[in-house]
């Protein structure tokens, strides 16, 4: 069974469209994340939720809106897509407060490749 | 600002060779992890190692927190070791966010 699963894996869409990426984890963790990996492989955190509460909110355009309906799910909705949004988006999960990680490791999904044309 | 720097940026190895990857960080850390991103993009956690030494098969890692660096050793490299190796650190001064280094791209040739 996949521990952290994201859908879709690949997404090609036109500028200006709105799209969502879904993420689910079956590890029983209470913290979930969205990371963005750019074309140079640089990974940067976007958001983190702990028990459905937004804990980390990096400086990202407000076109990006995360939603956590429950501890096992964290979705990412992107409005008015721009060319610069093209990247790989990784969902991840861990146990405990994301600001300490309390000795816990973080587990990543397989990534969602977003291409905006 | 808080920095996590990895070296070398690129590494080409002949199968069977040993190598050392380095991660330097600019402040004391609460959590340090090493990851391997394979050529298909999967990010796999290798080690949680805020201090000390750990070994897992042909891989081992050492973190000297007081000197602000961590090392990842790959012994008897195999082609499946190819990919990008990232260290990620949780630094209180950086707002307690897991911050990734720029990665070391490793290519193991048969």
- pLDDT tens digits, residue range B62-76? 999 999 999 999 999
Q: What pLDDT digit, counting tens, does each position of A17-44 carry?
A: 999 999 999 999 999 999 999 999 999 9
Res B92: pLDDT: 72
- Between β-strands B97-100 and B83-91, what pairing exists: parallel, antiparallel or unpaired? antiparallel
Cβ of B99 under 8 Å from any chain A Cβ? yes
**What is the percentage of chain B residues whose pLDDT exceeds 70?**
95
Cβ of B2 under 8 Å from any chain A Cβ? no
CA distance, residue A45 to nearest chain B CA (Å): 7
Res A1: pLDDT: 63
- With 0-12 / 13-18 / 19 or more C-beta atoms within 10 angstroms meaning exposed / middle / buried, residue B76 is exposed
**Bridge partners of residue B19, in order along the sequence:** B74
**Bridge partners of residue B59, in order along the sequence:** B56, B74
Q: For residues B97 and B33, what is the distance between their CA atoms, to the nearest angstrom?
A: 13
Torsion A54-B5-A86-A6 (CA) sign: negative
Res A25: pLDDT: 97
A110 to chain B: which residues are within 8 Å by CB? 41-42
CB contact under 8 A, A45 and B84: no
Cβ of A42 under 8 Å from any chain B Cβ? yes
Res A43: pLDDT: 93
When comparing pLDDT for B35 and B94, which is higher? B35
pLDDT above 70: residue B9:
yes
pLDDT above 90: residue B12:
yes
CA distance, residue A43 to nearest chain B CA (Å): 6
Cβ of A91 under 8 Å from any chain B Cβ? no
Q: What pLDDT digit, counting tens, does each position of A51-103 carry?
A: 888 888 887 888 999 999 999 999 999 999 999 999 999 999 998 887 777 77
Measuring CA to CA, how many Å separate B38 from each of A5, A96, B16, B41, B81? 17, 27, 18, 5, 8
CB contact under 8 A, B41 and A43: no
Q: For residues B30 and B12, what is the distance between their CA atoms, to the nearest angstrom?
A: 32
Res A56: pLDDT: 84
Tokens of A51: 């028990």
Res B2: pLDDT: 59
């Amino acid at each position: 069974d996949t521990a952290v699963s994201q859908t879709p894996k690949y997404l090609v869409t036109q500028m200006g469209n709105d799209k969502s990426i879904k993420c689910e984890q079956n590890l029983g963790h209470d913290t979930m994340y969205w990371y963005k990996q750019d074309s140079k492989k640089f990974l940067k955190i976007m958001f983190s939720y702990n028990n459905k509460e937004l804990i980390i909110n990096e400086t990202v355009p407000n076109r990006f809106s995360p939603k956590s309906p429950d501890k096992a799910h964290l979705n990412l909705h992107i409005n008015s897509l721009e060319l610069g949004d093209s990247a790989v988006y990784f969902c991840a999960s861990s146990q405990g407060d994301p600001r300490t990680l309390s000795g816990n490791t973080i587990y990543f999904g397989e990534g969602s490749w977003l291409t905006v044309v | 600002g808080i920095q996590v720097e990895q070296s070398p940026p690129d590494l080409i190895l002949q199968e069977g060779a040993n190598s050392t990857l380095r991660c330097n960080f600019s402040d004391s850390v609460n959590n340090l992890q090493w990851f391997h991103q394979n050529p298909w993009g999967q990010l796999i956690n290798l080690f949680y190692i805020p201090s000390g030494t750990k070994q897992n098969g042909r891989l081992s890692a050492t973190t000297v927190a007081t000197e602000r660096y961590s090392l990842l050793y790959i012994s008897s490299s195999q082609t499946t070791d190819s990919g990008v190796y990232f260290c990620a650190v949780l630094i209180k001064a950086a707002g307690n966010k897991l911050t990734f280094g720029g990665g070391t791209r490793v290519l193991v040739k048969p």
